[in-house]
């Protein structure tokens, strides 16, 4: 019969460092994986909320450029019209002159105006582009006001 020879003490001493190295590497990989999973699930910190506000401000110029084609059309203005009294948001009324929290353009609120509800408050935006941005991250635009 074929029998495997019993391991010799010299051979066991050669394999021991290799086995310890493999176990150590596996433990380190498991620790790194756990840390990455915890970070991915962690809620944003106060420092991250400041970064979100900065992000909203950095998006605003792009929104202004995209909305610039609407200036002077459909009651959207880059400056309040002469004699126009700007109403504060949220919860402005239809017909009020307000400032878009995303593009910072002025417009008159219409019956069918795009609106984002945040904590029960109505925030009107000037166009569909601003609506999508505000809908995705409303708190960053509100905090930036």
Q: What is the pLDDT of residues 105-114, one digit of tens each?
A: 999 999 999 9
Residue 38 lies in a domain: no
CA angle 44, 50, 54 (to 5 degrees): 120
User: In whole angstroms, what is the distance from residue 141 CA to residue 116 CA?
Assistant: 12
Per-residue model confidence (pLDDT) at position 37: 73
End-to-end CA distance of the chain: 86
62 torsion bin: left (phi>0), alpha (psi -120 to 50), beta (else): alpha
The total number of structural domains in the chain stands at 1
| Band of residue 42 on the pLDDT scale cut at 50, 70, 90 | low
Domain enclosing residue 68, as ranges: 46-144
The mean pLDDT value for 22-39 works out to 78
Query: Is residue 108 in a domain?
Result: yes
pLDDT tier for residue 145 given thresholds of 50, 70 and 90:
confident
Is residue 85 assigned to a domain?
yes
Examine residue 11 and state whether it is found in any structural domain, yes or no.
no
CA dihedral 13, 14, 19, 24 (to 10 degrees): 90
Q: What is the pLDDT of residue 124?
A: 93
Is the pLDDT at 125 greater than 80? The verdict is: yes
Q: Identify which of 31-40, 53-62, 85-94 has the greatest average pLDDT.
A: 85-94
> Residue 32 falls within a domain, yes or no?
no
Q: Is residue 96 part of a domain?
A: yes
119 by Cβ neighbours in 10 Å (0-12 / 13-18 / 19+) ranks as exposed
Cα 111 to the center of its chain, rounded Å? 29
Q: Can you tell me whether residue 116 is helix, strand or coil?
A: strand
């Amino acid at each position: 019969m074929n029998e495997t020879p019993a391991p010799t003490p010299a051979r066991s001493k050669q394999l021991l460092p290799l086995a310890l190295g493999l176990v150590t590497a596996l433990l380190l990989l498991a620790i790194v994986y756990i840390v990455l999973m915890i970070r991915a699930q962690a809620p944003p910190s106060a420092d991250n909320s400041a970064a979100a506000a900065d992000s909203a401000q950095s998006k605003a110029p792009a929104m202004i450029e995209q909305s610039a084609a609407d200036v002077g059309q459909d009651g959207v203005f880059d400056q309040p019209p002469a004699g126009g009294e700007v109403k504060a948001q949220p919860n402005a009324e239809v017909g009020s002159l307000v400032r878009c929290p995303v593009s910072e353009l002025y417009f008159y609120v219409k019956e069918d105006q795009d609106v984002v509800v945040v904590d029960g408050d109505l925030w009107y935006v000037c166009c569909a582009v601003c609506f999508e941005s505000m809908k995705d991250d409303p708190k960053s635009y509100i905090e930036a006001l």
